[in-house]
Structures are given as C-alpha cells and as structure tokens.
Structure 1
C-alpha cells in the first residue's frame, strides 16, 4: 500500500506531466518529420528531418525557437562544409577528419554554441552516406533540415508547454515544511538535552534545503523563459467568457512574487543554519543553561516551526513572545555575563526567522488568493 501511494503521488507530480509531455512532443515531431520527408518529399536521407526535429523540440517555445535557429544555421554550415570538402578534396580518412575538425571548431562559436555540434554531425551524415549520390541534392538537404526545425516548432506551439507555476509553489512549500520540521525537532531536543550529532544533523538538513531551493530557482527561471513566445501566456492574460483581460504585467508580477519568496526563504535557511551551528558549538560547552530561557525559547521555537510548516496554523504571536523573553532575560541579574553572547545569538537568529516566517506566510496567502 505505501508503495502504491508513492507511485500515485509521483504520477500526480507536475514534473511527471511535464516529462511525459516532452516525450510525446519529441515522438510526434520526429515521426511527423520522418513521414513527410519519406512519403511526401521521397527523400533519399529521410533521417535528416526527424533528427533536426528532435534537436528543435525543447521544453519551452522560446528555447525551441532559439535552438531551432541555431540548429538551422549549424546544419546549413555542416552541409556547406561537407559539399566543399567532398567536391574539391574528395572523401577519405583525412578529408573526413578535416570536416570533423572544421565542424567541432565551428561549434565553439558563441552565437551557435548550444547547437554548434550539428555542423560536425551533419557532415557525418552527408559524407558517411555516400557523398557522390548526395552532391546534386544540396537544396534538398537544406530543405529537409528546415523541415525538421519547422516540425519541432509547430509541435511545441500546438502542444502548449507548461508554465511551471505549480512546480515553483511546490518547491517553496516543501522547503517551508522542512524548515518547520527542523525547528520543531530542535525545540523538542533543546527542552531536554541535545548533543553535537543532533546539531550537526540539523545543519546538514539546512544544506539539503539549500539544494532544493536551487531547484526552485531553476524552476522559476524556467517559468520566466516559458512565458516568452508562449500562447498559453496570452490565453491567461486574455479575456475569459467576456471578462476583461488581465494587466499585461500580471505574469511578470507573479514571477517577481515567487522570486521574492525564494529570497526570503533563502534568508530563513541561512539563519536556521546559523542557529544549528550555534547549538552545535554550545553542545560542547559546560555552561549551565538558565531554566526560564531554555523553556520559553524552546516553546517559541516550536511555535515558529509550526507556523512556517503550516502558515494557516493557529499559534500565539511569536515575535512578541520573543521580545518579551529578551526583556525578561536582560533584567535577570543572576545571569553570568559569559552567557549573553550565546543567548543573544539564539534570540537574534530566531527573531530573523520569525520575521521571515510572517513574510513567507503572507506572500503564500497572497499567491493563493491570486
């Protein structure tokens, strides 16, 4: 049953639908280009069109367009290099090597760097498939390359690419939940006792959060790119059932909203990492903890953890309690002066996290209401 549940959860993930759509687009584009090249054009090299179609199909229309232009240019250069070398130098081991050298050197050009290797691969196809029979068909080869690019672009336009909004929100909520779990675990152990191993585990979990946050950044950057030359963007900002169109800046504002949330979450992870580092260093100290501070600070950490894991949860105002704890401790004349750097660091780090909790929760509610 747990295995079936995990499979079902994976199938419901936005990434699964995106990957499945990308596979389908590649299959349709390559197959359609091959059929047209073979059945309609009756090409002697029907693999050129499906090959360039596969090179053109990317996850976004913008990337397909830019890469398609690069593929067309690189493949055209490859055809030209092949015909020049084959026509004037003949086809042999050294001339084939020369074609590869020219192709791979041309792939380093900055304006076709992403698809520049197509210069060399096109030369392989033409020189390796019998140059003498292909020599009179230069225009046909160029037509087939353009056909493949056209099919790739057409499929990407018809099979509208996802905007990745759901993925970005999912990453953000996942990181928030993990931060809340670390704070809750930290509170439970701090209430009694903890050791350097526990603190090191908290520190390592913050490193894992940073890696997941990087995936979230990549998703948001992908979403920004996906909005460019994307028919779905026009559909979303256009009118629906007679309603007035949304402002043109709406997609941009949404992206900025995600980026602002990610920046705040990144700050929260940094402060949480500093908190774990402080507790790791304090675990080896023989300093006696103040009971009032220990109990109240642990209670505040627990509520902060619940608030960031579930912004809709009901908890007492955390920031006010933290300020009150700071005031109470400052009036305690029995505290050794050597404990204040430690207590101050714990209070300061948690204060930053609490502020970020409120910001992230407010942004989350605003995002969901939009």
Structure 2
C-alpha cells in the first residue's frame, strides 16, 4: 500500500509540474504553448469562415464538410497546409468521380462496390496523394453507401464544400501569423546535447571507482531516452526547415531567426550511435566476478584501464557539452586536444602490453578495444565538426 501511494503521489506531482510548465510557457512571448493556442484559434476561425461561405452558396446537406476540412487544414507549417489542402481536394474529387460514375448506372450493390473499391485503393496508393490517399476510397464508399452517388448536385456540392474548407484553412494559416519555428529546434538540439554529455559523465563516474556497474540499468534507460530526444530534435529541425517555405513572416523579415541547428544535430546523431555502443559493451561486463577479483569488478578488464577510460569519457562529455552550447572555441579545442592525447596514451599502453606479453586480462582484450574504438569515433566526430557549427547566441522564438 505504501509503494502504491508513493507511486500515485509521484505521478500526481509530475502532472502538476507539467501543468505548471504549460502555464509558464503561456507567459513567454512566442513560446510553443502560445503557438499552439494561436493554431487552435486559427482553426476555429477557419471553420467559421468555411461554414459561412458554404452556407451562403446554399450547398445544402454538403455544407458540413467545409468546416470539417478547414479544421484539419490548419497544419503545423504553411507548406503542409498548402500541399495537404491540394491533396485532400484531389482525393475527394477522385472519390466522388468514381462513386458518381458507377453509382449513377448501378446504384448501391455488391457489384458496384467491387467496381469502386479496387480502383479507389489503387488511387489511394499513389505517392503524391500522401496521407490523404485514403480519402479516395472512403469518399467513394460513403457517397455510394448514402445513396448520393446518383445525385449530381450533392456530389458537386461535396467537392465544392471540400475546396471551400481547404481554401479557408490555407488562407487563415498563410495570412494570420504563419508558424515559424526558430527557438524550439535549438532548444531540442541543446537538450539532446546535454543528455548525451550527461550519459557519458554518468558512465565515467561509475567506471572510475571499482567498476561500479550498479547504475547500468539507469544508463540503459538514459540511452533509450536519448533516442527519444534524438527523434524530437530531428522532428523539430525538420519543422524549422519546412516552416520557412512559403512563409510570409520570413519574407517580411528575411534575417530573423536563430542559427541553423542542423550541423549540431548531425554531430549528435553520429555520436549517439557510439554512445549506445558503449552502453551495450558495458552490459557484457555486468556479470558475477571471477575468483580473485574485487567486489563488483568484472574479471575481463583491469582497474587501471577502467580509470583511464573513465577519464577519457569525462573529457568527451566536457568537449561535447562545450561544443553544443558554443562555448569558448579555444577551451573546446583544448578539451578535444586533451582527449586526443589521453586516448593516444591508452593506445600506447595497450600496444606495449601486447608487445611485451603483459596482458593481465586477455579475455577482455576485445571488449577493451571495442570500448576504446567507440570513444575514438566520438572524438573524431567532434574534431571533424570543429569549424562547422553555427554560433548559438540567444535564440529568438
């Protein structure tokens, strides 16, 4: 009962913290929360405008489709609104044409469905239809099922109402504060960089003192969260690029916006794969110690190597954090140089041990090499991107 109560309390605290964060976001100018509120208001306005226009044109029973289409046309970017608006109108028109052509002659029946569904699904699979490809089949079957396929006036009104809804959504999203993502991608990439550096630092702390792998499950959870942050950052950067297409705000202020975070994202994407590999390699060390080894010490790798490797991970974490937050270039360069020198010393020691037959733990040699190789690759990634990252000043939202 006590554990359950603590779990419920912790869950309630997380929900309260989430609500507070959302309210705090509403107080910040041009925050993500305010953007969502604006998008909701714009969708409402688009629906009202679409209904008024459809009603004025006396589209009778088909008028309902206009506001329904307008709501789903207010997308996260102007580009999505334009492309999806055209695709939806094309999909609906194709479905109506199929239903009208077959239903006018045959009405609703098994044979008419056999004649409509296959070509509708083939049209839906055309890649240019995008996410609205399924609207071809659903529109055709609905028109046929409702008995409207033989009513030319309703079919025409349905297509016109869809077009009105799409135009309303496009116009509102294009002309009224079109979404322009500037701060969110930078923040997402920075969070990804912090999490990556934090995981490297946590592993260094555990490896430095007696091969303490008790936190390995937490490192594995952090690695999973790293994938989630990477996906979020990738989506945010893609939205930033797409939001600049056909955006009138950008045309009015062509120099506005924060620096492009894409180079940093590419660096972190490459580094994340090797961080995962390090966590995976360490999972092989998490087994009972062999006779003669210290408590918690894996039998395959020496303590000296663990301490050296921990120091290397610490340097990598510092260099990565400095790179992402765009710290002093000289300091970042110094950290990378120190890490390179330290990695070279580890290589030299391992080579010397092989040459003189002084390997204490031959069973763990391949594992030691794997750990060092992934650390070297992270270091190479940091070195290769040394002069390509944008300056991160105070980002505008």
- The TM-score bracket by the shorter chain reads 0.7 to 0.9
Which residue of structure 2 aligns with residue 302 of structure 1? 314
Shift of 1:342: 5.7
Q: Residue 43 of structure 1 is aligned with which of 44, 59, 83?
A: 59
Instruction: Tell me whether 1:336 sits opposite 2:323 in the alignment.
Output: no
Shift of 1:159: 3.1
Gaps of 5+ in 2: 1-12, 288-297
Rounded Cα–Cα distance in structure 2 between residues aligned with 1:10 and 1:358: 38
Query: Taking structure 1 as reference, are residues 264 and 328 closer, same or farther at Cα in structure 2, changes over 3 Å only?
Result: closer
Shift of 1:47: 1.0
- Do 2:210 and 2:303's aligned partners in 1 also have CA atoms closer than 8 Å? no
Shift of 1:182: 1.6
Q: Residue 391 of structure 2 is aligned with which of 363, 366, 370?
A: 366
Rounded Cα–Cα distance in structure 1 between residues aligned with 2:302 and 2:86: 67
Which residue of structure 1 aligns with residue 207 of structure 2? 190
Query: Taking structure 1 as reference, are residues 93 and 21 closer, same or farther at Cα in structure 2, changes over 3 Å only?
Result: farther
Query: Taking structure 1 as reference, are residues 30 and 101 closer, same or farther at Cα in structure 2, changes over 3 Å only?
Result: farther
Which residue of structure 1 aligns with residue 375 of structure 2? 350
Q: Note the aligned Cα RMSD (angstroms).
A: 3.9
Instruction: Tell me whether 1:161 sits opposite 2:154 in the alignment.
Output: no
Shift of 1:143: 2.9
- Do 1:61 and 1:230's aligned partners in 2 also have CA atoms closer than 8 Å? yes
Which residue of structure 1 aligns with residue 266 of structure 2? 263
Partner SS state of residue 215, structure 2: helix
Partner SS state of residue 60, structure 2: coil
Query: Taking structure 1 as reference, are residues 299 and 205 closer, same or farther at Cα in structure 2, changes over 3 Å only?
Result: same
Query: Taking structure 1 as reference, are residues 125 and 18 closer, same or farther at Cα in structure 2, changes over 3 Å only?
Result: farther
Which residue of structure 2 aligns with residue 272 of structure 1? 275
Give deviations 1:264-307, integer Å, cap 9, x for gaps. Answer: 1122222222333343334554257354x554543453354345
Rounded Cα–Cα distance in structure 2 between residues aligned with 1:316 and 1:57: 46
Instruction: Tell me whether 1:175 sits opposite 2:192 in the alignment.
Output: yes
Gaps of 5+ in 1: 238-245
Shift of 1:229: 1.6
Which residue of structure 2 aligns with residue 24 of structure 1? 41
In the superposition, the TM-score normalised over structure 1's length comes to: 0.76
Alignment coverage as a number of residue pairs: 354
Give deviations 1:135-166, integer Å, cap 9, x for gaps. Answer: 34555444323212211211111233323332
In the superposition, the TM-score normalised over structure 2's length comes to: 0.72
- Do 1:303 and 1:316's aligned partners in 2 also have CA atoms closer than 8 Å? no
Shift of 1:44: 0.9
Rounded Cα–Cα distance in structure 2 between residues aligned with 1:359 and 1:218: 24
